[in-house]
Amino acid sequence: MLAYRRLFLAIALLLILIAAPGFSQQRDEWYQGKPIRDITFAGLKNVKLSDLEGLMRPFKGRIFDDDLFWEIQKTLYETEYFEQISPSAVQYETIFGTEVIIRFAVVESPIVNRINFIGNSGLRRTELLDLISIKINDVINVMKMRLDEQAIINKYLEKGYPDITVRSDTQPSGDSSIALNFYISEGEKIIIKEFVFEGNSVFSARTLKSQLSLKAKTLISDGAFQESKLLADRLAIVRYYHDRGYIDADVIDITRDIQKDEKRNNNLTITFRIHEGRIYTFGGITFEGNRIFTTGDLSKLVSSKTGDTVNERRVEADLQKVADQYFENGYIFNTINREEKKDSVSGIVSYHISIIERGRAHIENIIIRGNEKTRTEVILREIPLEPGDVFSKSKVMDGLRNLYNLQYFSMVIPDTVPGSADSLMDLIINVEEQPTTDLQLGLTFSGSSDPDTFPVSALVKWNDRNFRGSGNQLGVDVNASPDTASSALNYTQRWIFGLPLSGGFDFTAQWNKRLAPMKNLPPYFNGDEIYAFPDGFNSYNEYNSSTGVPPREYLMTYNQWYLSLGFSTGYRWPTMLGNVSLSGGVRVGFIRNVYDASLYNPFDPVLREENNKWTPRNSFWSSLSLDQRDIYYDPSRGYYIQDRFGIYGIFNSERERYLRNDIKAEYFLTMFNIPITEKWSFKAVFGIHTGLSLIFRQPGVEKSPFIEKANKLSVDGMFVGRGWADEYSKKGLLLWENWAEIRIPLVPGVLAWDFFFDAATIETREGDYFRGYSFNNMRFSFGGGFRFTIPQFPFRFSLAKRFYLEDGIVKWVEQGNAGALDFVISFALATY
């Protein structure tokens, strides 16, 4: 049936090309030369409109002509979603003139109402259904059928069926539906029983077996045989010998012996016959033909030492360093030949490098491919090269890092091709765009660690990190819960005047229902005496020795309104040490606290005096950072250092007037990276972080409190000192927080499995800062969990075990049952 439909589609396309009904014959029609306002569809039942919008987006805004219309129709027919497509045009008047809306009335291709698997016994039907991309009620697509065939084959190969074959077809099943059939010929399953090694005397069979990706059947391994892995394992054994000086070693033969057991299973014994040869030492590297760089300069790049046991992988890395030295300086057209000189009598191997030097390669053109939404100039400005520049490998890599950090692209692949003349080349950057617009509706965690705040809020958020392909960010969000409500509008322009100068603004309106200590009972105080204490305490000493928060019945409720407008700017410089960023901003705002003065008498005299008044709240901040991480939102290597200084309260009339300084440093290192499949590697990244935050009274400010308790520092149990949520009420003026993590990506760019160790401490007394500091004040936790690395869902879900030190003795914190763990939900925040 599919063959007939493809023939029908080919004929339909030919008719469109000849006649183009409704459009192509009439060149004088009104829509010729008009901008395409929109492309709409009528008759959709099973095809998702979102799938078509992605295909049609590149055509919107372009000028209508016959060639473009043919391209649109061709694109639609190639999806194989439709049996028939009928176009029409509608006028759309704007202040700039007439535009055209193209409407397609479509008749969809049949849908799948049944999926059958014939011949499967090694895999259950449910397993096969999970593998394929075509589902019940999907419109049939030949390309998807072929991909699903291959997906089934790959799964059978993993299970040890080397002779698996799969084919598919369709059969009519009702008026407008079909049955999809997969015919599976499994062949016999082969299970690896054991590995045998012959000819090995230097390394034991156990050592060589550890190099294999194939495993024999055990309680924890199914022993499935895969031909592709066997070929890789042969190379792994040879590489193991070569990296330990036995450069003549080879696997000269692999034999297979299959025997059936009483259950008719095919048990495979694989025998590797090995020639080891003798061990060699490194005799050095000589160079010929090098004039641009001296022999001494090139020899410094060689880490292998004369007389050491030769390591083939290290030698290859040394030779690559020599090639990179030329590439980095633009000499990419050189010819570099390697000659191995091996003396089997003395056991010495040396290398002679012959270099034919040519002129530097200059970039003739930088070509961007694959960008549909993102403007080409947005991509070009992130690449630190221009036409006419000398080619530089490191600058190309810096450009790739910049593009990945934008989070506009799921894939960025560079390519180089010869230019129009000698010593000229074209640099091609192929990109694959990913969604940059987030629309969130529903419920979310409020992000507040305050235990008195309702933890869930309704959310409406729209954000585009690449607004209209300009590289700028525009966002609107509204949050509401019983205790808080906020709305915000923000805009950031990443490049200004063609420079890496950013600028942005945001407007925020916020309401909070807050709690404050009262003083309705005698003795009465003004609230600013050094011996004053609120209701709920019997003396100043009791108040001073506590967390400062009375029981709930002694707290009053008041409403706080806050309106603010913020402006920020920053500049970025690429340096040898990393990207240096200098930024700053100012926020202008007004705050208003409202409560019923006939019912409540706040302990805080400022809150009492400013009831129902709009008072200013302004701030200024600056930041300096050095960033050498590869990918800032999910790094695998590099470091980051930042210092941020803020002035809060600029005028004497402001309630709060304080200074705050935050400094932090992070370092990341990939511990191992083992390729498992073509698209996924098993790797672990170690990260370590330390941060120190300090709050000071502004010079000349005598009033107290000079900062609201809610704005003081704390170990919140979510972001700092994970698990220690009960420490949140202990507010302070110094915070020292640290963490160490091992991050294991499960789905790159989406999900990771993390282990962490946290240590944090708070100092509550002004000016004491580390004076008489003791590790008894430090709060520790460790644990693990899952972390989502996608911007649309930046959550962490962790289990934490807590402890502290008391005179050097570890004291475990038990939560409920002995040994229980704390469940922690937080945000996977990244620094940029």
- The tens digit of pLDDT for each residue in 755-790 reads 999 999 998 877 766 666 677 889 999 999 998 877
* Region 229-244 average pLDDT: 93
Using pLDDT thresholds of 50, 70 and 90, give the confidence band for residue 447: very low
Alpha helices in 301-374 (DSSP H): 312-328
637's tokens: 């290597």
- Specify whether the CB–CB gap between 750 and 788 falls below 8 A: yes
Looking at residue 793, its pLDDT comes to 65
Which residues make beta-bridge pairs with 192? 268
* Region 521-525 average pLDDT: 84
88's tokens: 């029409």
Q: What is the pLDDT of residues 560-580, one digit of tens each?
A: 999 999 999 999 998 889 899
- Specify whether the CB–CB gap between 211 and 243 falls below 8 A: no
What pTM value is reported for the model?
0.62
Q: What is the pLDDT of residues 297-346, one digit of tens each?
A: 999 999 999 999 999 999 999 999 999 899 888 888 889 999 999 998 99
Classify the C-alpha dihedral 64-70-73-78 as positive or negative.
Answer: negative
Q: Where are the domains of the chain?
A: 2-108, 112-185, 190-275, 281-314+337-356, 362-433, 448-492, 495-617, 622-832
Domain boundaries 362-433, CATH class = alpha beta
Looking at residue 21, its pLDDT comes to 45
* Region 581-602 average pLDDT: 94
Is the pLDDT reported for residue 93 higher than 90?
A: no
**207-212, long-range: CB within 8 Å, 24+ apart, which pairs?**
208/237, 208/240, 208/272, 208/274, 211/236, 211/237, 211/240, 212/236, 212/237
C-alpha–C-alpha distance, residues 729 and 788, integer Å: 29
Q: What is the pLDDT of residues 35-82, one digit of tens each?
A: 999 999 998 888 888 888 888 988 988 899 888 998 898 888 888 788
How large is the greatest C-alpha to C-alpha distance in the chain, in angstroms?
103
Q: Is 305 exposed, middle or buried (0-12, 13-18, 19+ CB in 10 A)?
A: exposed
Q: What is the DSSP letter of 132?
A: -
Looking at residue 773, its pLDDT comes to 66
Is the pLDDT reported for residue 814 higher than 80?
A: no
CB atoms within 10 A of CB 8: 12
Is the pLDDT reported for residue 174 higher than 60?
A: yes
C-alpha–C-alpha distance, residues 226 and 616, integer Å: 71
39's tokens: 């492309």
Using pLDDT thresholds of 50, 70 and 90, give the confidence band for residue 27: very low
Highest mean pLDDT among 91-95, 383-387, 765-769 belongs to 383-387
C-alpha–C-alpha distance, residues 270 and 198, integer Å: 11
Cβ neighbours of residue 248 under 8 Å, at least 6 residues apart? 275, 276, 277, 278, 280, 344
Q: What is the pLDDT of residues 123-136, one digit of tens each?
A: 999 999 999 989 88
C-alpha–C-alpha distance, residues 241 and 825, integer Å: 48
Looking at residue 22, its pLDDT comes to 44
Using pLDDT thresholds of 50, 70 and 90, give the confidence band for residue 750: confident
Residue 23's φ and ψ, nearest 5 degrees, are -135, -65
The matching CATH number, chosen from 3.10.20.310, 3.40.50.2300, 3.30.10.20, 3.40.190.10, for 112-185 is 3.10.20.310
112-185 against 190-275: fold identical: yes
Query: What is the homologous superfamily of the domain 2-108 according to CATH?
Result: membrane protein fhac (3.10.20.310)
C-alpha–C-alpha distance, residues 493 and 473, integer Å: 7
- Specify whether the CB–CB gap between 1 and 145 falls below 8 A: no
Is the pLDDT reported for residue 830 higher than 60?
A: no
The matching CATH number, chosen from 3.40.50.720, 3.30.360.10, 1.10.1060.10, 3.10.20.310, for 190-275 is 3.10.20.310
Looking at residue 442, its pLDDT comes to 65
Looking at residue 567, its pLDDT comes to 97
C-alpha–C-alpha distance, residues 164 and 256, integer Å: 19
Q: What is the DSSP letter of 722?
A: T
The matching CATH number, chosen from 3.65.10.10, 2.40.160.50, 1.10.10.10, 3.40.50.980, for 622-832 is 2.40.160.50
C-alpha–C-alpha distance, residues 272 and 449, integer Å: 60
Looking at residue 544, its pLDDT comes to 74
Residue 189's φ and ψ, nearest 5 degrees, are -80, 135
More confident residue, 748 or 163: 163
Q: What is the DSSP letter of 146?
A: H
Residue labelled with tokens 């005299």: 605
Q: Whose CA is closest to 641, among 660, 628, 659? A: 628
Is the pLDDT reported for residue 801 higher than 60?
A: yes
C-alpha–C-alpha distance, residues 737 and 779, integer Å: 9
Looking at residue 813, its pLDDT comes to 87
